[in-house]
Amino acid sequence: MGGLRAAGLCDGSRISAAEARRLACAAGIIPVVLGGPSEPLDVGRKRRLHTKAQRVAMGLRDGGCTAEGCDRPPAWTHAHHDQPWSQGGRTSLDNGRLLCRRHHTLAHDQRYRTTTTPSGKVAFTRRT
């Protein structure tokens, strides 16, 4: 309530924002970053798959597949976790990128190394 000043409980009492965060953490409730008309953009670790709103935001940001040299449009892509969800990666815009089917397959293929270029694109090289 009012930014970082206070939070309200169902009985009407007020607690500090820090206390609200501590209680939420203990209960396994995570904060959700909202964008636009209250659409979730960062759902932390409670959800593995990116939401429709996140995919739309990535489509606007990435413009399509983020593999170097690929021109596939957003509608032909998958949402990919840069740090895998299975290894603690968050389901967020910061940890997500769009990859077409071919490049998403390469990103999960142990025979290929993925590197991020200075432009933010990803490049795939076969391991020797």
Task: Give the span between the Cα atoms of 72 and 85, in whole angstroms.
Answer: 24
**Mean local confidence (pLDDT), 78-89:** 88
Lowest mean pLDDT among 38-42, 115-119, 123-127: 38-42
Q: Is the pLDDT of residue 21 over 90?
A: no
Q: Is the pLDDT of residue 5 over 90?
A: no
Give this prediction's pTM.
Answer: 0.65
Q: In the beta sheet, which residues pair with residue 124? A: 114
* C-alpha distance from residue 56 to each of 26, 69, 80, 116 (Å): 32, 22, 13, 22
State the pLDDT confidence band at 85, using cuts at 50, 70 and 90: confident
User: What's the topology of domain 37-126?
Assistant: DNA Binding (I), subunit A (1.10.30)
Listed in order, the ranges of the chain carrying CATH 1.10.30 are 37-126
